[in-house]
Amino acid sequence: MPRFLHLSLNRKYIHPRLRRSITLQAQASNGNNYPSTIAATLTEKNIKTGTQRSISFTSNGSSTLSPPPPSQSAPASIKSFFLPQGWPSSVTEDYLNYQIYSFPCHIFGWMSHSLAGSSMLKALGIGVGPAGAVGFSAAIKWVTKDGVGAAGRLFVGGKLSAVFDEDPKRWRMIAEAVTSLGLALEIATQLFPANFVTLAGAGTLAKATGRGMGRPCFRVVQTHFAAKNNVGDVSAKEEVWEVTAQMTGLAASVALLSFLEATRTPEAVVPIWAAIHSIHVALRYAAMKQLRFPFPNFKRGTALVHRFISSRGKEILTVEEANKEEKMLQGPEYGPDGLQCVLGCSIEELLGSIEPPLNNTYHRELSGGRGEDDVLKILIELYEKERYILTWRDGVAYVVLWESADAVDMLRALWQAAWLHNGIHKMKGAEGESGKESIGVVVFEKLEESLRIMQSEFPELENGANKVGWELERGVYPTGSFCLSQGQGALEETEA
């Protein structure tokens, strides 16, 4: 009987300069009384254009080379001009949907800015009176309003820099609202030219503040899109999208302003601007809704643990569901069903949220006039395996974080807070020995029980979340200014 030897090889190479991948496939076979014949196929793929060609050859010298790929068609050229190299695999899935809404958003945005600028020029009296006097006066007013506006960027960079990573969607819309106010004030200069410096200065201040908020949020979005750490490529293509929209918007603005001048209806600028800017804001909101961040923040994190707990561990909220259900304009103060959790509180806030327990083994330690240090010691012992300490009062979880706490530790704290919220927030309170009702007070056994269940079930949540695409270790949460560190034989509270 003939004997056969079968060997296959499949390897892939990427040329560092040509940006091409080459796949080598080789096969050797040997039968009884037959010479060994080697067949190999090389596949060359242009990573930039997506085209490929192949060459096949055998050991007897024969080879076949496929014809070179045809030149790019017009749609392919447009795609390579607007989209990052390697699209769609080089970016996240929400990239194109975001751009589809952002592109017209930029167009209407530039039209809105152009109308506001024309209103200020009219308020300055450009084109009326002696050119020299008007020009000098206009220059003074323009420099003054720009100087006032610079303060907005200074304030944002100094005071708000830490909030944009946690919730870029919400802060981008806040930036849009502040910018809208600024543009409205600039439009108003046409109606009240005597108050130009006040209105234009306040408008520029608002616009600069909005720009200072929007840019950091935009950087977060760009980094999110770079699925293969290709931030530079994504940023460059974003410039292509935005400049194309800018040119389109400016051209439309020129046509619109020319029409208004020809028809001698300059007063129509205000309602036209209002309509155009409303469309711009609506498109911005729609663009933000397309984003699918795979890392939890407070809203997505609390929604994730809430779904898991309420379904008794049977359901894991997906990245798609969490982002679609996220209430973009809502602040981080509340989670699902009114859940409140203060991450990074002070020791005073923590100890203010513990009450003497009722009918449990810790009653003697935590009552009878003992000091706060004893209560804190008991809490530290309870949470000795965690990098946080959580207590509860009046429907709010207070969490002190150790200096070494990371994003997963904060999600564990949110899990425990959600469990307490689900089980206790509907209760009217616990009855003490005095007969007085203590609304919202959690007895110590509940802290123990919630901690024990969290430690038991959190690994299941963590594994399930990772399987559906969550990147829990990248979570970003709003935290306070305090954390705990272990000094030499003493507990220290440091301000972050």
Cα 133 to Cα 79, 125, 256, 347, 482, distances in angstroms: 51, 10, 29, 64, 58
Let me know: does 298 contact 332? Beta carbons within 8 Å. Answer: yes
How far is it, in rounded angstroms, from Cα 496 to Cα 494? 6
List, in sequence order, every residue forming a beta bridge with 27; answer none if it has no partner: 8, 39
Does the structure show a pLDDT above 70 at 143? no
Which tokens hold the place of 176?
Answer: 């849009």
Chain centroid to CA 268: 38
DSSP 226: B
Does the structure show a pLDDT above 90 at 294? yes
* Each residue's pLDDT tens digit, 42-62: 554 444 455 555 545 455 555
Query: Residue 419's CB: how many other CB atoms inside 10 A?
Result: 22
| Domains of the chain by residue range | 5-71, 95-289, 298-495
Continuous segment of H or E residues that includes residue 149: helix 131-159
Cα 439 to Cα 74, 294, 337, distances in angstroms: 69, 38, 18
- pLDDT recorded at residue 13: 42
- pLDDT recorded at residue 67: 61
How far is it, in rounded angstroms, from Cα 3 to Cα 327? 67
Does the structure show a pLDDT above 90 at 492? no
Does the structure show a pLDDT above 90 at 475? yes
Q: Which CATH architecture has domain 95-289?
A: Up-down Bundle (1.20)
**Mean pLDDT of all residues belonging to the chain:** 76
* Each residue's pLDDT tens digit, 406-451: 999 999 999 999 999 987 655 544 443 333 333 334 567 889 999 9
Residue 35 CB-density burial (10 A; 0-12 exposed, 13-18 middle, 19+ buried): exposed
How far is it, in rounded angstroms, from Cα 434 to Cα 356? 13
